[in-house]
Amino acid sequence: MSTSSRGVSLRTRAAVVVAASIAATGLIGVGATPASAGVHRGVTGCFSWSWGDGNTSVTVYWHNRCKSKRKLNIKYSLGWTTKKYTAVVKGDGKGHKKFQTASIVSIKDGGRV
């Protein structure tokens, strides 16, 4: 093998190794999202809701699709304990709540106010 063909072969191998290592670290990829960035969506009674997995906080967004004022009950976990948050939302109202270092356990329509 000549010196020039060996140089091309080494450059080609190096390029393949670099491309593979970049792809493995996630720097290449159209529309790639981190594994921890899951978005959760759902409907309960009159409410549609969504929240995304965050690193240090979770923000829940909601929309009351009914015409009457309703309660939204959110149950969340702080590791060793669970707590409840209740929002009173007017008809066709929207809102959000940020929870620090928490994970969402359940979201339920609490009925008319």
Residue 104 has a CB neighbour count (10 Å cut-off) of 16
- Report the domain count for the chain: 2
* pLDDT tens for each residue of the chain, 113 residues long: 555 555 555 555 544 444 444 444 443 334 443 444 689 999 999 999 999 988 899 999 999 999 999 999 999 999 899 999 999 999 999 999 999 999 999 999 999 99
pTM to 2 decimal places: 0.67
* Distance, CA of 101 to CA of 97 (rounded, Å): 13
Same domain, 85 and 70: yes
Same domain, 78 and 104: yes
Q: Identify which of 45, 56, 55, 53 has the alpha carbon closest to the alpha carbon of residue 107.
A: 45
Q: Identify which of 110, 38, 36 has the alpha carbon closest to the alpha carbon of residue 69.
A: 110
Same domain, 24 and 55: no
Domain span including residue 24: 1-32
Same domain, 99 and 54: yes
